[in-house]
Amino acid sequence: MAESRWSLSDIEAYVVSETHHGNPGLKASKKEALARELRPEAEIWFPILSGSPVSGARQVAAQLAAYLWPVHPELAPSVWALADDPDWEVREWAVGPFVALGLVQPEAWSLFREWAAQGTDGIKRALAVALKHTAHSGRVDAAPILGVADTLALSESEYVRKNLGPFGIGDGVLPCFPEETLAHLALWSQSSAWPARWNAAVAFTAKKAQPWAVSGRGFLAALADDDDSRVARVARRALSRAGTGSV
């Protein structure tokens, strides 16, 4: 294998050599290109970059993790750390490894459900976003995806809820698996756990969920009178959109 043309200092300088989102950083396509170039030596570069103080380097590490994790399960703690990273862009890139693992290892979904119950908010949030991308891939059936969603729906964390209900479900899983997802949302609407009821309602506030809002109108009406004001508020917002589309 040819010696890499990169050193750690070169990478750390390169990833802040331009401006992205108003801060020093590269646009996504350049970080993706760098990750592809480093992939032949990913096992060497991943631990180095994931430990870098430069967030752009850790973002590249997250992309290498998506390549490595399916064949290196021992990297789980390192991936979890990226999902909990203090930098929001690193957390965004950390979703990729969860998607990659779920696409190639059916047995990973039982692990995802465990992490959805016991993981940190960062891990749960990464899983919530990964559900959307996995559903859109068309390579995984509805059952494992919704099984993880059932567990995530119980989380009271605002960070998790805002990424699950409207984004992971409303814009992601529902348009891909409408019949199965509507059945799960109906069950969530009857849960004793207020976050599940909240997620059942807020899913229909997402733009891509609008065509199915009319299908959920029955339980949305009940949730609009929910004893929990958080649930009632989003249910009323969803109901106001329930007549804007139908399937």
Domain boundaries, given as residue ranges, for the chain:
9-184
* Residue at token pair 């348009």: 175
Q: What is the dihedral of CA 23, 98, 145, 227, to 10 degrees?
A: -50
117 HSE (CA, 13 A, CB side): 8
Number of DSSP helices (H) and strands (E) in the chain, helices first: 17, 2
Write down how long the chain is.
247
Q: How far is CA 158 from the centre of its chain?
A: 14
* Residue at token pair 């991308």: 133
Contacts 24+ apart (CB under 8 A), 42-48: 42/67, 42/68, 43/68, 43/72, 46/75, 46/78, 47/78, 48/8
Find, among 193, 192, 199, 198, the residue nearest to 149 by Cα.
199
**pLDDT surpasses 50 at 158:** yes
CATH of segment(s) 9-184: 1.25.10.90
Give the pLDDT of residue 195. Answer: 98
pLDDT above 70: percentage of residues in the chain: 97
pLDDT in tens, 20-65: 888 889 999 999 999 999 999 999 999 999 999 999 999 999 999 9
**pLDDT surpasses 70 at 191:** yes
Residue-averaged pLDDT of the chain? 95
Find, among 241, 222, 242, 224, the residue nearest to 233 by Cα.
224
Give the pLDDT of residue 242. Answer: 73
